[in-house]
Amino acid sequence: MSLNINPTKIVCVGLNYIDHARELNMEIPEEPILFLKPTSSIIYNKENIIIPKQSKRVDYEVELAIVIGKKCKNVKKEDAKDYIKGYTILNDITARDLQKKDGQWTRAKSFDTFCPIGPKIVKDINTENLDIQLKVNNKIKQKSRTKNMIFTVEELVEFISSVMTIYPDDIISTGTPPGVGKLNKGDIVECEIEGIGILKNFVV
């Protein structure tokens, strides 16, 4: 399925991999930690991630992304898949120094080009135990499996739809595994999830 979507919002989940929480020596959250990225940050496969002049530390974060298929509010997890159009890959680019400076996440997550998604939407895959990895200049930096997610796809749809109405084409990004690190100008970053493909972007 092509990535011809027009989301009203991108809902992201922080700290949703057990191995990432251990890496950071942080407690497992009792509920999903949510934040938003603006739709203006979206770019697609083989497009450029632009390092903003305001930041000296821009990080990559590979994530499995859910694309919503129909309006949902207060959806139960056992019905969640009825509301999902499919899945794609999202790279939650983050200005880490600004995140620490601001004490909250909006500016750090919201620069133009900070939300690469693609390369396509895949409908019929089992998301319970997919291989997920990220390479920078052909070197593996992140590698895990979706079975390490603290909250499943279905649990996230239930939780988020209990907070806000989710509309067709809205994106839920399900958190990143361990190994987050810095991007530099000239880097080639490739995000890969089993059954979906490779999202490739160039850092400028």
How far are the Cα atoms of 32, 92, 150, 198 from residue 35, in angstroms, in the given order? 10, 11, 17, 25
- Predicted pLDDT at 56: 97
Q: Can the peptide bond before residue 119 be classed as cis, meaning omega within 30 degrees of 0? A: yes
Give residue 2's pLDDT.
73
Domain ranges of the chain: 10-203
Whether the model pTM is above 0.85: yes
Burial class (CB in 10 A: 0-12, 13-18, 19+), 199: buried
- What would the CATH number be for the domain defined by 10-203? 3.90.850.10
Residues whose CB is less than 8 angstroms from the CB of residue 76 and which lie 6 or more positions away in sequence, other chains included? 158
* pLDDT for the residue numbered 86: 97
Average pLDDT, consecutive stretches of 10 residues, N- to C-terminus, the chain (204 residues): 89 90 81 96 98 97 98 98 98 96 94 98 96 98 96 97 98 95 98 98 98
Sequential DSSP letters for 46-67? TPEEPPPTT-S-EEE-EEEEEE
203 neighbors 46 (Cβ within 8 angstroms):
no
Residue 72 burial class via C-beta count within 10 angstroms: exposed 0-12, middle 13-18, buried 19 and up = buried
Q: Select from 170, 157, 64, 42 the least CA-distant residue to 109.
A: 42
